[in-house]
Amino acid sequence: MTASIGPRRPIDPSPTDKLEIDVNTHAPIFIPCDGTWQLREIGPLKTQTYPASVPGCVHTDLLAAGVIPDPWFGDNEKDIHWVYHKDWSYQREIEVRQSLLARQSVELVCDGLDTLATVFVNDVEVGRADNMHRTWRFEVKAQLRAGVNTLRVDFTSPIPLMKQLDAQRRLPCWNLYHDDFAGKSYVRKMACAFGWDWGLMAPTAGIWRSIKLVGRDAKLNDVRISQRHAEDKVSLDLAVAITGQATKARFELSLGGKPVAQGDAKVAASDTDDGDAKLSLDIPSPQLWWPNGMGAQPLYDLQVTLLDDAGQTLDATTRRVGLRTLELSQQPDEFGQSFRFRVNGRDVFCKGVNWIPCDVFPSRISDQTYRHLLDSAADSGMNMIRVWGGGIYEDERFYDLCDERGLMIWQDFMFACATYPTFDPAFMANVEAEAIDNIRRIRHRACLALWCGNNELEQGLVAETWTNSAMSWEDYKKLFDELLPALVTEHDGVTPYWPCSPHTPDGEGRNRRNFNDPTIGDAHAWSVWFGGQPFEAQRDWNYRFMSEFGFQSFPEPRSVEAFTKPEDRSLTSWVMDYHQRCGPGNQTIYKYLLEWFQPPKDLESSLWLTQLTQALCIEFAADHARRLQGRMDGLLYWQLNDLWPGATWSSIDVYGRWKALQYFAKRFFAPVRVSLLESNEHGTATAFVSNHRPDAAKVVLHWRLTDTGGTTLEEGDEPVTIASQSCVKVRALDCQRFRQRGGSAKLPGDVRKNPHPPIAGDRELFVWAWATDAASGEELSRTLATFAKPKHLLLRTPQIEHKLTRRDDGAWDIELSTDVPAPWTRLALADGDATFSDNFLHLCPNLPATVTMRTSDNIKSQPNVTIQPLVSLWS
Ligand code: BMA
């Protein structure tokens, strides 16, 4: 099961060795040091080694070696806690040639060390690290020799240090799931690894991002790109900071491989080693970058090359640039002050989600996982992702995909739900370096929309003075009002900074006690999930920008099977409770489930109904927000993804399976969306159409009132034109007389709480509305309203017919028809996973619906499709 260190040999020969043909050349030399290392626990008599992968971490290495069990499964998490108490050593050999040592400088560049690390080259200490979020560079030329060298990185458990510091001074925090983790915010480590209300406790250690040796004679330290936009012209102002002797910097800009502009800049002499080279490039016929749904995402490639007198390359780097302006418009208006993103001068309603690390061991996140999650977001009409402050500054792969898919990034700095030792100058110096590293790393990204200081500190973790539950405003300000905004201004200079989410500014200073002021700033509204308010209460929101709110659900049966044994498969089993980290979680889910649906008949039905309950909750808020556009200009629900399996607020589970909410999101974030606002008081259902296309939408709004047997009581349609980024109230449908057909007796209840309860006739009435494109007739959006809750509807068991047609691309079209209304009907592939263009959809007699199904293995034979109407979940 374990392996010992093998024979000495050069490992992973560098692909850049080719550059060493002539030892007199000045080209940079990169020796990647990723690959196979050896892992060993540090301590007396600890000689056993395990093969280790770099990038990686102790847990994934021990998992691969069979030493620890999979913490996602059952209650295995308890069996891995010993790991974080230990100290661990990573070691490998690497061959270097004389040509590397001939360079002026040889750095060991570590893109990520997690966390308390001491780095050795040939057993000589070359440096220490204490921040997982930074890039660490150590000058190692003096310690290297031609031939085989040993690299070693020792990681000390952070627990003793946290305990010691916490004993000296307690740092209040939320989400403390284990006594071991008191003092966690003394250490600059992914906070949610210590446990969160949706995740396991698995703080790890390791070389979690790439590591390499880099030999150079001169270095491009920094590339700064500023855009100037004028009518029909964009210019890039380019500046590089240089170390070493260089003559000029060459800038070459291309689009899709075709040269666009280029130029050389002389390196100016300087008193220090740093010389600057600056140049402006004009871009003829610039193609602008737009958020998803507003236009295309052209990305220009900038190649920067540092040259010496003889024209030889000394160093080189690349950046991808999208041409756009992006502002956060905060203007006084009739409601207070706006909070509205504007791209290329156009208002954009932000639709999206909060993002957490997609694995508790982020070093093993695959390209495929990033792509699937971000494609899912973009395919669901989203245009903004908030990288939440309890995780990590994301990987380049993540930002690349966001650039390509038009997903704007609300980027938190990594501070969340805790107080921090800002009174300690060493801590401040550490986070300053962290902020500079990350600002410089991603500031040029087209997707970057906002830097935000922290998550939720102003929501109760700050007070006049330090207390048992809060830090002082004085210490808070040092980091979030002074240091971070100053660094954003200095190193970015364009992207707006917002101190906290949520945050309420108030002109002169700020109205800090009312962090969710509806007239100004952003808000986190948890009044439903944590506050117990009904879903409909979300229709009273009048916030300017909703950056967090959410509702939990369970993953689907196949996902539950993946982390449980058959005997654990009941909702309140030990294992299922083990995977629910929000104290009142299951009770809250069930309270609402029973408000909306009849009791599920079995575990599987329970899982699906929790998903529908979640989806309904978020749909209420999203439709309301779109109707309020101009006052509310964004809605990001909590949360897109998971880092382990369990009951959480996610819309895509950790195995990548879409929950009902993700399908709902695709509908409620669609460019054109019809919504109905029913009023039991007035007996009306008011139809709205919202348009987020870049241009006006010409549609036909259709409506139909039916009974639960499918008989049409009334129907009509109306052409509507909706300007871009606006919502039109089309008409209030008068439903009163149809409601009373089935009886006007009210559902008894406390009339102070609900003065307009449903009446008996509501149990038989459906109001359908859909929009078609005026030109093509294509259906763009469909919705359904009822005056009674689904559990009270007199639903019939539908006979749903389907016809399958194989498409040229291997997918299947499923044409659906039903004899009676079948709301929230679920489609599934009986014997495997599939994705659907729509799901949990409303089927109405004589209203065609076609769904496209894709299976992973492109099944050729007729697939076995399961169709599950809502009623089958409870009867
Ligand atoms: C939000 C987040 C997280 C948390 C979530 C659910 O406010 O910032 O801290 O997981 O609530 O409680």
* 180-200 residue pLDDT tens: 999 999 999 999 999 999 999
- 24 by Cβ neighbours in 10 Å (0-12 / 13-18 / 19+) ranks as exposed
Q: Note the pLDDT tens digit of each residue in 689-729.
A: 999 999 999 999 999 999 999 999 999 999 999 999 999 99
User: Would you state the pLDDT for residue 25?
Assistant: 80
Across-strand partners of 726? 691
The answer to whether 363 and 206 are in contact (CB under 8 A) is yes
CA-nearest residue for atom 9, ligand 1, is 417
Nearest to 152 by CA among 120, 114, 116, 128: 120
- Å from CA of 439 to ligand 1 middle: 24
Q: Flag whether pLDDT at 663 surpasses 80.
A: yes
CA distances from 310 to 267, 277, 633 (A): 14, 18, 55
Take atom 10 of ligand 1 and give the residue whose Cα is closest.
197
Nearest residue CA, atom 8 of ligand 1? Answer: 455
Q: From the CB of 12, is ligand 1 less than 6 Å away? A: no
Can you give the pLDDT at residue 272?
Answer: 53
Place of tokens 């070389």: 207
554-588 residue pLDDT tens: 999 999 999 999 999 998 899 999 999 999 999 99
Mean pLDDT, the chain, rounded, equals: 94
d(CA 284, CA 36): 48
What pLDDT is stored for residue 19 in this prediction? Answer: 40
Query: Ligand 1 centre and the CA of 549: distance in Å?
Result: 8
- Whether the pLDDT of residue 256 is over 50: the answer is yes
- Give the pLDDT confidence of 47-84 residue by residue, as tens digits: 999 999 999 999 999 999 999 999 999 999 999 999 99
pLDDT tier for residue 834 given thresholds of 50, 70 and 90: very high
Contact 612, 597 (CB under 8 A): yes
pLDDT of 5: 30
> What is the rounded end-to-end Cα distance, in angstroms, of the chain?
51
561-587 as b/e: b if 16+ CB within 10 A: eebbeeebbebeeebbbbbbbbeebbe
Residue identifier of the C-alpha nearest atom 4 of ligand 1: 197
Residue 14 reports pLDDT greater than 70:
no
Cβ burial, residue 668 (10 Å; 0-12/13-18/19+): buried
SS (H, E, C) 203-221: CCCEECCCEEEEEECEEEE
The answer, yes or no, to whether any atom of ligand 1 lies below 6 A from the CB of 653, is no
Q: Is 417 in the pocket of ligand 1 (CB under 6 A)?
A: yes
Ligand 1 neighbourhood includes 415 CB (under 6 angstroms)? no
Q: Please report, for residues 37, 55, 141, 153, 328, the alpha-carbon distance to residue 119 in angstroms, rounded to integers and kept in the order given.
A: 14, 16, 14, 5, 43
Radius of gyration for the alpha carbons in the chain, expressed in angstroms and rounded: 29
The Cα 98–Cα 209 span in angstroms is 27
The total of other beta-carbon atoms located within 10 Å of residue 252's CB is: 17
The verdict on the CB of residue 177 being under 6 Å from ligand 1 is: no
d(CA 345, ligand 1 centre) in Å: 33
pLDDT at position 687, please?
A: 98
Mutation test of ligand 1: which of 354, 387, 456, 457 has the most ligand atoms closer than 8 Å to its C-beta? 456
Instruction: Kindly list the catalytic residues.
Output: 456
Pocket perturbation via mutation, ligand 1, pick of 185, 197, 198, 524 by most ligand atoms within 8 A of CB = 197
| Nearest atom (ligand 1) to Cα of 388 | 8
**Which residue reads 């159409």 in tokens?**
689
- The rounded distance, in Å, linking the Cα atoms of 515 and 501 is 9
Give me the pLDDT at residue 275, please: 59
- Residue 638 confidence class, pLDDT cut points 50, 70, 90: very high
With cut-offs at 50, 70 and 90, classify the pLDDT of residue 7: very low
pLDDT score recorded for residue 856: 78
Ligand 1 atom closest to 524 (CA): 7
Residue 13 is predicted with a pLDDT of 35
Separation of alpha carbons 110 and 209, rounded Å:
7
Cβ 556 vs Cβ 834: under 8 Å: no
Contact 418, 184 (CB under 8 A): yes
Separation of alpha carbons 490 and 508, rounded Å:
24
Q: Which residues contact 482 (CB under 8 A, 6 or more apart)?
A: none
What's residue 858's pLDDT? Answer: 66
Cβ atoms of 432 and 483 closer than 8 Å: yes
pLDDT at 38 over 90: yes
Residue closest to 763 by CA, chosen among 697, 709, 699 = 709
Helices (H) and strands (E) in the chain, counts: 14, 50
Instruction: Please tell me which residue, 860 or 219, carries the higher pLDDT value.
Output: 219
What pLDDT score was predicted for residue 269? 61
List, in order, residues 6 or more apart from 778 with CB less than 8 Å away: 772
Q: Where are the beta strands (DSSP E) in 231-310?
A: 233-244, 248-255, 258-266, 274-283, 300-307
Query: In whole angstroms, what is the distance from residue 343 CA to residue 289 CA?
Result: 9
Assess whether the C-beta atom of 524 lies below 6 angstroms from ligand 1. Answer: yes
Is residue 512 very low, low, confident or very high in pLDDT (cuts 50, 70, 90)? low
| Angstrom distance (rounded) from CA 614 to CA 622 | 13
Phi, psi of 337, deg, nearest 5: -140, 135
Closest CA to 317 of 216, 187, 203: 216
Amino acid at 871: V
Number of other residues whose CB lies within 10 A of the CB of residue 167: 10
Element housing 684 (H / E):
strand 684-691
Pocket test of ligand 1: the residue of 185, 417, 516, 640 to mutate, having most ligand atoms within 8 Å of its CB, is: 417
Name the residue with the closest Cα to ligand 1, atom 12: 197
Atom of ligand 1 lying closest to residue 175 CA = 9
Q: What amino acid is encoded at 783 in this protein?
A: T
Distance separating alpha carbons of residues 203 and 115, to the nearest angstrom = 10
- The pLDDT, as a whole number, for residue 22 is 45
Mutation pick for ligand 1 pocket among 415, 461, 527, 548 (CB with most ligand atoms within 8 Å): 548
pLDDT value for 10: 33
Give yes or no for a contact between 403 and 447, defined as CB atoms under 8 angstroms apart. yes
Least confident segment among 148-162, 257-271, 639-653: 257-271
Distance 15 CA to ligand 1 centre (A): 44
196 C-beta closer than 6 A to ligand 1? yes
The conformational region for residue 527 under phi > 0 = left, psi -120 to 50 = alpha, else beta, is alpha
595: helix, strand or coil: helix
Highest mean pLDDT among 95-99, 275-279, 505-509: 95-99
Q: What is the 3-state secondary structure (H, E, C) of 626-675?
A: HHCCCCCCEEEECCCCCCCCCCECCCECCCCCECHHHHHHHHHCCCEEEE
pLDDT at 271: 52
Pocket flag, ligand 1, residue 548 (CB < 6 Å): yes
